[in-house]
Amino acid sequence: MSPIAAPPAEAATYRRIIRRERHNSRSVAVSITLALVALGLAYVTVELVLGALELPALLVAPVDAVAVLNEPTVPVIAGSAVAVAIGLVLLIIALAPGRRARHEIPNTRMAVVVDDVVLAGALGRAGRVAASVPAQRVRTTVTARRALVSITPTSGIEVDAEATEAATSRVAAELAAKPPLTVSVSIAQSGVVGS
């Protein structure tokens, strides 16, 4: 079976897919924000129309609202502090990088994006097999650029630190995650009894 040729502009498509998969879309934040904004604006519209028709207001007539704008009352001041805080949170959501805890794994056929939890599992597994300890005694954490495999040995049985390090590094090298991971192994000073 001869490999089927790649369609044109495949590389650009993959770059786009991976970039979008590794970053948060902020769609949830936008949807919630705009739904609330729409509700708020709808309410303001109703009050404005009632005010223009000189009908009694639902809660606050526009005339009273303008008076409060010029001389804010205590609840209004508290409310505006909250509004500023929410505004700052929205700015942070909008401008932060929004990276997800995922890594890209280079592959010949497709775009591969793996959650950091899964990477941690794969590295922990390699460490566990090399150190021959049960799975509960291996704890692996993966962040954007590092992976730390912590192993608690069984009392009286020494763990081969070098072999463990070699095994985890081999898996990390095979996966070649992007951005690259620096793997380190830490073996606890005191072991525990039992399996």
Partner 1 sequence: MSSSNRFLNRLLLVVVGLALIGMGGWLLVAAYPQVLSVVPGLPETLPAVPETTVPVLWIAAVVTAVLAFLCLPWVFTRGRGRISYLLQEEGAAGSVSFDNAVASQLLDDALGTQPDVISVKVTSHRVRRRPALAIALTARNGSDLPRLLSAVTDAVEQLDAVVEQRIPVLLHVTSGVRASFAREQRVT
Q: How far apart are CA 78 and CA 83, in angstroms?
A: 9
Residue of 25, 143, 184, 186 that binds partner 1 (CB under 8 A): 25
How many C-beta neighbours within 10 Å does residue 83 have?
Answer: 10
Q: Given the rule CB under 8 A, which of 84-92, 145-153, 156-164, 182-190 is the region that contacts partner 1?
A: 84-92
CA angle 151, 157, 163 (to 5 degrees): 55
Residue of 59, 69, 193, 194 that binds partner 1 (CB under 8 A): 69
Considering only residues 136-195, where is the footprint of partner 1 by CB under 8 A?
A: 171, 174-175
Told to check if 33 binds partner 1 by CB under 8 A, we report yes
How many C-beta neighbours within 10 Å does residue 142 have?
Answer: 26
**Residue from 49, 38, 44, 40 nearest 65 by CA:** 44
Told to check if 6 binds partner 1 by CB under 8 A, we report yes
Told to check if 80 binds partner 1 by CB under 8 A, we report yes
**Residue from 104, 110, 96 nearest 29 by CA:** 96
Of 42 and 193, nearer to partner 1 (C-beta) is: 42
Q: How far apart are CA 70 and CA 61, in angstroms?
A: 15
Q: Tell me 54's DSSP state.
A: T
Of 108 and 190, nearer to partner 1 (C-beta) is: 108
Told to check if 122 binds partner 1 by CB under 8 A, we report yes
One-letter amino acid of 112? V
Told to check if 4 binds partner 1 by CB under 8 A, we report yes
Q: Given the rule CB under 8 A, which of 62-70, 142-150, 155-163, 181-189 is the region that contacts partner 1?
A: 62-70
Q: Are strands 146-151 and 138-142 parallel, antiparallel or unpaired?
A: antiparallel
Give the DSSP H/E element, type plus range, for residue 50. Answer: helix 27-52
Told to check if 14 binds partner 1 by CB under 8 A, we report yes
Of 48 and 161, nearer to partner 1 (C-beta) is: 48
Q: Given the rule CB under 8 A, which of 61-69, 141-149, 160-168, 182-190 is the region that contacts partner 1?
A: 61-69
